[in-house]
């Protein structure tokens, strides 16, 4: 499955992660809709393409439109020693199986006082792509809120492969969010080039859960970002450089566990924070980070750029207005430096 040119897209990198983990460990298996048809789609975003031909339909299972059953089977089989990787087609559909995620996956270990573990991964494509309100949400923060769940979200191919491998090897239930626009680095009209494709090493590597990455160091302002907003933050940082503002861009990579150390170290240095998130502002994950920073520091300026508190509208001009973009990042930075 490796290619000579090791510059891979996120979809290719995730596919490699699944392939390698399944090759290494017979207990890893996949469940999802449209992933198990030979010569088929490989799922809605092609991540599983080729895997059913390699591993067979027992281990790459097509499931009916039955998300409760997909998660329920992940939980139950994980408790009995398997390592399931399930998926929904859009993160918006996670709400059809909320009980199984929140009341069962997250709580089985704790309620049993450690007798059981639930080593499952559940993948969900996330983010707005002009398909309307029920195919557009970024609900990652809702799951950060649930004790017992790990929440992970890569912004590029290298991290995608490493984090997915780490998630599969982890003993806790992990929700793995993949931004739809980062699979193949499809651009939005108004943005500059997005670099989600990266070099991906051939050797076995993981990216540990719970560790953020400083994508660009700087001294003047800390930008905290996740998934697609990492790329927006980097674009904004590039522009601000010309204005003499030296930004530090943090890619969180994990919401739970959260890398508080990296965040606080940066904030101590810059004393100015801009949180950039694609989820709705009220009680988005940014609210939690803002509160944590405020609890730890006095005299720090904190601002958030988030989606407006509306269901995501369909029209491209409306959607672009609602979700974070480069312009409103620059506007908020200006307010911070006033």
Partner 1 sequence: MKKSRKLKKERLLDIFRDMYKIRYFEDEVYYMFLEGKLPGTVHQCQGQEAVAVGVCSALRKNDFITSTHRSHGHSLAKGMAVDKAMAELFAKKSGCCGAKGGSMHFADIENGIIPSIAVVGEGLIIGPGLALAYSMKNTDQVAVTFFGDGAVSTGAFHEGINISSLWELPIVFVCENNQYAASTSFDSMSPVENVVDRASAYNIPAFKVNGMDVLEVYEVANKAISKARSTGGPTLIECETFRYKGHSRSDPQQYKDKDEVEFWKERDPIDNYKKLLIKKEIVSEKEIEKIEKEVEELIKDAIKKAEQAEKPSVEEVSNYVY
Catalytic residues: 135
Q: How far apart are CA 183 and CA 42, in angstroms?
A: 13
List all residues 6 or more positions away from 70 whose beta carbon is below 8 Å from its beta carbon.
Answer: 31, 32, 63, 86, 87, 88, 97
- For 175, phi then psi, to 5°, come to -95, 125
Name which position in 4, 5, 39, 64 contacts partner 1 (CB under 8 A): 64
Contact 158, 105 (CB under 8 A): no
Is 82 a binder of partner 1 (CB under 8 A)? yes
List all residues 6 or more positions away from 192 whose beta carbon is below 8 Å from its beta carbon.
Answer: 235
Q: Do β-strands 7-8 and 198-199 pair in parallel, antiparallel, or remain unpaired?
A: antiparallel
Residue 219: HSE in the Cβ half-sphere, 13 Å Cα cutoff: 1
For residue 27, give both structure tokens: 């207990």
Is 21 a binder of partner 1 (CB under 8 A)? no
Is 80 a binder of partner 1 (CB under 8 A)? yes
Is 24 a binder of partner 1 (CB under 8 A)? no
- Comparison of 113 and 317: residue with beta carbon closer to partner 1: 113
Is 335 a binder of partner 1 (CB under 8 A)? no
DSSP string for residues in 207-239: --TT--EEEE--SSEEEEE-THHHHHHHHHHHH
- Comparison of 39 and 113: residue with beta carbon closer to partner 1: 113
Q: C-beta of 178: minimal distance to partner 1 in Å?
A: 22
Q: C-beta of 212: minimal distance to partner 1 in Å?
A: 18
Q: C-beta of 35: minimal distance to partner 1 in Å?
A: 15
Name which position in 34, 49, 50, 76 contacts partner 1 (CB under 8 A): 76
Sign of CA dihedral 325, 43, 165, 11: negative
Is 184 a binder of partner 1 (CB under 8 A)? no
Is 73 a binder of partner 1 (CB under 8 A)? yes
Q: Which of residues 162-181 bind partner 1 (CB under 8 A)?
A: 171-172
- Comparison of 114 and 244: residue with beta carbon closer to partner 1: 114
Q: C-beta of 206: minimal distance to partner 1 in Å?
A: 17
Is 74 a binder of partner 1 (CB under 8 A)? yes
Own/partner pairs, 311-319, CB within 8 angstroms, 24+ separation? 311/133, 311/136, 312/128, 312/132, 312/133, 312/136, 312/137, 313/132, 313/133, 314/130, 314/131, 314/132, 314/133, 315/130, 316/130, 316/189, 319/128, 319/130, 319/136
Is 277 a binder of partner 1 (CB under 8 A)? no
Q: How many residues form the binding site for partner 1 (CB under 8 A)?
A: 39
Is 93 a binder of partner 1 (CB under 8 A)? no
Name which position in 6, 37, 53, 110 contacts partner 1 (CB under 8 A): 110
Q: Do β-strands 213-216 and 247-251 pair in parallel, antiparallel, or remain unpaired?
A: antiparallel
For residue 318, give both structure tokens: 């409306």
- Comparison of 30 and 128: residue with beta carbon closer to partner 1: 30
Q: How many angstroms from the chain centroid is the CA of residue 304?
A: 19
Name which position in 7, 25, 37, 112 contacts partner 1 (CB under 8 A): 112
- By CB under 8 A, which span of 46-54, 70-78, 216-224, 323-331 interacts with partner 1? 70-78
Name which position in 69, 214, 264, 318 contacts partner 1 (CB under 8 A): 69
Name which position in 22, 94, 108, 185 contacts partner 1 (CB under 8 A): 108
Name which position in 24, 53, 54, 99 contacts partner 1 (CB under 8 A): 99
Hunting for tokens 């995608």 — which residue is that?
160
Contact 162, 205 (CB under 8 A): yes
Is 79 a binder of partner 1 (CB under 8 A)? yes
Per CB under 8 A, residues contacting partner 1 are: 29, 58-59, 63-64, 66, 68-69, 71-82, 99-100, 103-104, 107-116, 147-148, 150, 171-172
């Amino acid at each position: 499955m490796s290619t000579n040119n090791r510059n891979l897209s996120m979809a290719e990198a995730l596919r490699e992660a699944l392939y390698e983990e399944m090759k290494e460990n017979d207990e890893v298996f996949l469940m999802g809709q449209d992933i198990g048809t030979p010569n088929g789609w490989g799922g809605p975003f092609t991540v599983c393409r080729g895997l059913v031909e390699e591993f067979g339909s027992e281990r790459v299972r097509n499931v009916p439109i039955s998300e409760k059953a997909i998660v329920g089977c992940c939980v139950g089989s994980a408790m009995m020693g398997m390592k399931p990787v399930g998926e929904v087609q859009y993160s918006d559909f996670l709400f059809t199986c909320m009980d199984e995620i929140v009341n069962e996956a997250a709580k089985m270990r704790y309620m049993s006082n450690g007798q059981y573990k639930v080593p499952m991964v559940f993948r969900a494509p996330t983010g707005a792509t002009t398909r309307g309100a029920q195919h557009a949400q970024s609900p990652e923060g809702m799951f950060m809120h649930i004790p017992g769940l790990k929440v992970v979200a890569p912004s590029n191919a290298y991290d995608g492969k490493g984090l997915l491998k780490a998630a599969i090897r982890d003993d806790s239930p992990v929700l793995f969010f993949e931004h739809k626009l980062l699979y193949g680095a499809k651009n939005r009209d108004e943005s500059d080039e997005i670099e989600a494709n990266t070099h991906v090493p051939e050797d076995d590597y993981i990216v540990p859960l719970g560790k953020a990455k400083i994508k660009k160091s700087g001294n003047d302002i800390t930008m905290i970002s996740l998934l697609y907003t990492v790329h927006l933050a980097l674009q904004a940082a590039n522009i601000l450089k010309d204005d003499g503002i030296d930004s530090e861009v943090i890619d969180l990579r994990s919401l739970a566990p959260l890398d508080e150390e990296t965040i606080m170290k940066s904030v101590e240095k810059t004393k100015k924070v801009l949180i950039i998130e694609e989820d709705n502002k009220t009680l988005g994950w940014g609210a939690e980070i803002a509160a944590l920073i405020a609890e730890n520091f006095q005299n720090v300026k904190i601002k958030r750029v988030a989606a407006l508190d509306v269901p995501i509208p369909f029209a491209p001009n409306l959607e672009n207005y609602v979700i974070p973009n480069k312009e409103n990042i620059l506007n908020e930075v200006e307010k911070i430096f006033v």
